[in-house]
Amino acid sequence: MASGENITAASALHEEAATAAKAWARQLASAASGGQLAIRRVIRSLHVVWAQPALLALPRDYDRLFTYYHERVCLQCGAVPKEASVCLLCGTLVCLKQACCRRHQVAEAVQHAQECGGGTGIFLVVTSTYIIVIRGRRACLWGSLYLDDYDEEDRDLKRGKPLYLSQDRLELLQAQWLAHRFDHTKRTWVWHRDSL
């Protein structure tokens, strides 16, 4: 592309969106002459293309997630985190609660929740299987998305039984996140004092 240097990601996206909108309008206009059924078909096809935001895709076996993350280094401090925690919005690994990544007295997960989720953060603590949700100045222990064969959690991986992703829990977590309903969940919320 000759004028490639002048195209930024933002302008490309903008142009693409405009082109797509024009195409949709054309499709709708031509369907309009075909009556209600034709319009409905077009609208349904447009709807399928759109996917709502989703949390990070997680493997079914906890073992795979653990193996993938437990020796990984934090990009901020370069060390393997003591309590490695994965942001379920973007996949970044943070040092939960640790002094190494504290900036202006704010620990890394809280910093990351501000930068990545506008104050809302969902972290999977790799060493305990637990989910920690941060909402502004408060946080809660949400529970685990991974359960054993008897649908029980294995917090801190003490029993060492194989754990599998619970689709029901994942869907619940995702629904609460999408609907901004975390404040209304019956979990115990505590002030995190920037220490997470």
Q: Which residues bind to Zn ion, rule: CB under 5 A?
A: 74, 76-77, 87, 89-90, 92, 95, 101, 108, 116
Cβ atoms within 10 Å of 27's Cβ, excluding its own = 15
Q: Whole-angstrom distance between the N-terminal and C-terminal Cα of the chain?
A: 47
Residue 62: CB minimum distance to Zn ion, A: 20
Residue 141: CB minimum distance to Zn ion, A: 19
Strand partners, 165: 146
Distance, in Å, from the CA atom of 47 to the CA atom of 42, rounded to the nearest integer, reads 9
Task: Name the residue nearer to Zn ion (CB basis): 81 or 143.
Answer: 81
Task: Name the residue nearer to Zn ion (CB basis): 101 or 163.
Answer: 101
Residue 56: CB minimum distance to Zn ion, A: 9
Task: Name the residue nearer to Zn ion (CB basis): 75 or 175.
Answer: 75
Task: Name the residue nearer to Zn ion (CB basis): 90 or 175.
Answer: 90
Distance, in Å, from the CA atom of 59 to the CA atom of 46, rounded to the nearest integer, reads 30
The CB-side HSE value for 19 (13 A sphere, CA atoms) comes to: 6
DSSP summary character for residue 99: S
Cβ atoms within 10 Å of 31's Cβ, excluding its own = 18
Residue 53: CB minimum distance to Zn ion, A: 12
Residue 76: CB minimum distance to Zn ion, A: 4
Residue 116: CB minimum distance to Zn ion, A: 3
Distance, in Å, from the CA atom of 54 to the CA atom of 178, rounded to the nearest integer, reads 8
Distance, in Å, from the CA atom of 142 to the CA atom of 180, rounded to the nearest integer, reads 15
Task: Name the residue nearer to Zn ion (CB basis): 104 or 186.
Answer: 104
Task: Name the residue nearer to Zn ion (CB basis): 97 or 147.
Answer: 97
Measure CA 195 to chain center.
Answer: 21
> Which element (helix H / strand E) includes 190?
strand 189-191
